[in-house]
Amino acid sequence: MAETPLALLIAGPTASGKSALALVLAERLGGTVINADSMQIYRELRVLTARPSPEDEARVPHALYGVRPAALPGDVAWWRGAALWAMAEARGAGRLPIICGGSGLYFSALLQGLADIPAIDPAIRSQARAMLAEIGPAALHARLTIKDPRTAARLIPNDGQRIARAYEVLLATGRGLAAWQASPALASPDWRFAAIQLDPPREELQAAIALRFGKMVEAGALAEVEALMGQALDPALPAMRALGVPELAAHLRGELPIVEAVQRAVTNSNRYVKRQSTWFRHHPLAEIQDTVMIDARIGSIAQLSERRMADLTRFIVERR
C-alpha cells in the first residue's frame, strides 16, 4: 500500500492573507488550492467573499470556489465529501492538496470525521426556522439551553442559522447536536496533514478589513448584493447572511446610508474574526503537530522574505 498521502491546511481569520500564501505555495509545490470557506462556495458572491480572481485561478488549479448557487445551501457534510473528492483528484494528478480557508467547522469535519445525523423532515426544519423568525436567535438559544445545554454552550446567541440547525436536530431525533458530534460515524480520512496557521494581531486585521471592505464596494459589491436580492431568496439562507450582504441590502432598501452600512459590515466582520481566531487556537487544527504559525498578516506575499518562503517550502517538502 502506498504511503498515506499528505495534504496541507492553510487556515486563519478573514483578511489574514491565506489565499495569497496558498497561491504561491501551490505554484512552488505543484498544488491544487481547495476552498474551505463556507461563503466562497457561492457563485454569486465573488466580490464580497474575496474569492480568488479569475487570473489567480488560471495560475494553479482551484477547487470548490463558486460551485453552488446561493439558493442551494452547502452544509458541512456536503463540503467534506466534495473536499475529499477534490483531494483525491489532486493526488491522482500528482498535485499537493492545499486546503485553504477560515471555516473552522469545515476543518473539524475533515480532521475528526462527521456525525451521521439522519435527514431532517422538511416540516420540522420549517418549524425550527419559523420559530427563529418569530422569536429571534437569542430567545431560541435560550430555549435550546434548557433542552440541550451542551450544544447551546457551543453556540453564539445571535447565530440564528446554527441555533436553528441545532434545534431542528433536537426536535427530529430527540438527541442533541453535540451528542451526535461526539460519536462521528464518518471517520477521519486516510490522509496525513500539515498546517500553516495565520494568527496576526487583531489591530492588523481590523485595519485590513476596513480597507478591504471599502475596496469591495468600489469593485461592485453593491451590484452583487442587488443581483442577489433580485432572486427573492429566503433571508435565512447562508449566502444571504454572508458578511456584508445584510448591511448592503439594508442600504439598497433605503434603510441605511452607505457609510453606516459599511461601518456595520466592518464591525460585524471584526466580531467574526474574533470568533475565528479563538476557534483556531482551541480546536483540532491546534492539535496538529506539524504546524507552522505565522503571527503577521500577509497583505502581500512580498511581506514574507524569500528566506521565510524557502523555510515554508522546505517544511512541506520534507513531509511529502
pLDDT of 186: 60
DSSP state letter for 271: H
Which residues, at least 6 apart from 216, have a Cβ–Cβ distance to it below 8 Å? 47, 48, 50, 244
Question: 309: which 3 cell numbers?
Answer: 518562503
* pLDDT at residue 195, rounded to an integer: 94
Strand partners, 196: 10, 292
pLDDT at residue 3, rounded to an integer: 82
CA distances from 313 to 23, 27, 253, 284, 288 (A): 13, 11, 48, 23, 18
Distance (Å, whole) CA 318 – CA 220: 43
Alpha-carbon distance 279 to 265, whole Å?
Answer: 21
> Smallest Cα–Cα separation from 209: which of 57, 66, 17, 46?
17
What are the structural domains, with CATH classification, of the chain?
Answer: 6-114+185-317 (3.40.50.300), 122-181 (1.10.20.140)
- Predicted model pTM: 0.83
What is the structure's pLDDT at 278?
83
Instruction: Give 42's DSSP letter.
Output: B
Instruction: Give the pLDDT confidence score for residue 1 in this predicted structure.
Output: 36
User: Which residues does the chain have with pLDDT short of 50?
Assistant: 1-2
